Amino acid sequence: MDIQSARYYMSVYDCRSLSKAAKEHYVTQPVISRSITALEDEFGCTFFERSKHGVVPTEAGTAFYQYAQKYSVFYQEIAAGMSAFSGKDNLSLSIAGITPPVKEILPKAVSEFNRMFPEIRINIERFVASEIIPLIQEDSYDFYITMMSDIRTFPRLKSRLLLSERFHLITKEEMQPKNDREAIRLMKENPIYVLPEQDAPFFYRMAVDYLKEAGIGHPDLKTARPIESLSYNVSANLGVALSPARHEFNEPGLSAYVIKGSPHVELGIAWKKETLPSKTFISILEKLINEKE
């Protein structure tokens, strides 16, 4: 038995349902079912009676639940004890991320994760994209959420694409374009706000190249930071804004139009160490992003 199997088992016991346990752990029901069957085979006992209403623990199943709880606690003690030798806190995960996921996605992901791993602390710090590169070089965090273009320069890290989106044109609601042609006209007629190159070099260069290809150029290209300032400037009727993704900053009266002819901006996550908590956290994050789309 490993710690993941023990956690699956405890979830099935608490929920009295294979499907509910699968949802808790962001896996499919067959994964949970195979894990329970493997445990029953390993210990030569039947832990649950299956029925159309769910599962009912047997006497052996109730006894095993108590052992699984002890095993989980002991695993936590091992992780905490080994921190002194590894130089890292094995009961915490640290995340360095750019603003959009830190504001919009991570709070819910952390809440879901803490429900499953209440003993593990998650620390989140917000950076601009250009600041994350030296953090990766120094191996300062467990996770890095930033542009895939930057992550790909570190092949030693495991990584995954989280989100791929085209540019969004942020305008006042009454100005919202119906198509790319209207979007281009608005950008020709108004100052365009983008993130500065020192904060988001990859996005800035993509924006400049796109504007040139669209025949807009960038004589009125203006920069604003932090990213919230893009919407603030639009709200103040100072112009329109190009955003790397759709963001909601509680600014009434704004709209975000997806520019279909623009390039894709890719957001990714990178990590170095593969553990049960890290794999679970990534699964939660991916699920929330897919729901958001």
Mark which of 86, 116, 139 sits at the end of a domain: 86
Asked if 130 and 206 sit in the same domain, the reply is: no
Asked if 29 and 154 sit in the same domain, the reply is: no
pTM of the model: 0.69
For 284, the domain range is 92-164+267-292
Write down the pLDDT at residue 179: 96
Question: What CATH number is associated with residue 29?
Answer: 1.10.10.10
Sign of the four-CA dihedral 217, 182, 229, 136: negative
Asked if 158 and 172 sit in the same domain, the reply is: no
Asked if 256 and 275 sit in the same domain, the reply is: no
Mark which of 86, 106, 139 sits at the end of a domain: 86
Asked if 150 and 283 sit in the same domain, the reply is: yes
Question: What tens digit of pLDDT does each residue of 200-252 get?
Answer: 888 899 999 999 988 887 666 899 887 878 888 898 999 999 988 665 545 67
Asked if 126 and 160 sit in the same domain, the reply is: yes
Write down the pLDDT at residue 26: 67
Sheet holding 92-97, edge to edge: 121-126, 92-97, 143-147, 264-271, 158-166
Asked if 160 and 172 sit in the same domain, the reply is: no
Q: Tell me the pLDDT of the chain (293 aa) as tens digits.
A: 888 888 889 889 988 999 888 877 767 888 899 999 999 999 999 999 988 778 999 999 999 999 998 888 787 777 767 766 665 556 678 889 887 666 677 888 888 888 878 878 888 888 888 889 999 998 888 899 999 989 999 998 999 898 888 999 999 999 999 999 999 999 999 999 998 888 888 889 999 999 998 888 766 689 988 787 888 889 899 999 998 866 554 567 898 899 999 999 898 999 988 777 788 888 888 887 777 65
Q: 183 in helix, strand or coil?
A: helix
Asked if 153 and 273 sit in the same domain, the reply is: yes
Asked if 96 and 211 sit in the same domain, the reply is: no
Question: What CATH number is associated with residue 152?
Answer: 3.40.190.10
Q: What is the count of structural domains for the chain?
A: 3
Residue ranges of E strands in the chain: 48-51, 54-57, 92-97, 121-126, 143-147, 158-166, 168-172, 192-194, 221-223, 240-243, 254-258, 264-271
Asked if 241 and 216 sit in the same domain, the reply is: yes
Q: At a CB cut-off of 8 Å and minimum separation 6, what does 263 contact? A: 166, 167, 206, 209, 210
Work out the angle between the directed axes of helices 29-43 and 3-15 (0-180°, nearest 10).
110
142 touches 272 (CB < 8 A): yes
Question: What tens digit of pLDDT does each residue of 21-40 get?
Answer: 887 776 788 889 999 999 99
Asked if 48 and 188 sit in the same domain, the reply is: no
Asked if 183 and 101 sit in the same domain, the reply is: no
101 touches 145 (CB < 8 A): yes
Work out the angle between the directed axes of helices 18-25 and 3-15 (0-180°, nearest 10).
130
Write down the pLDDT at residue 75: 78
Mark which of 52, 86, 120 sits at the end of a domain: 86
Pairing of β 168-172 and β 264-271: unpaired
Question: What tens digit of pLDDT does each residue of 164-177 get?
Answer: 889 999 999 999 99
Write down the pLDDT at residue 173: 92
Stretch (H or E) spanning 174: none
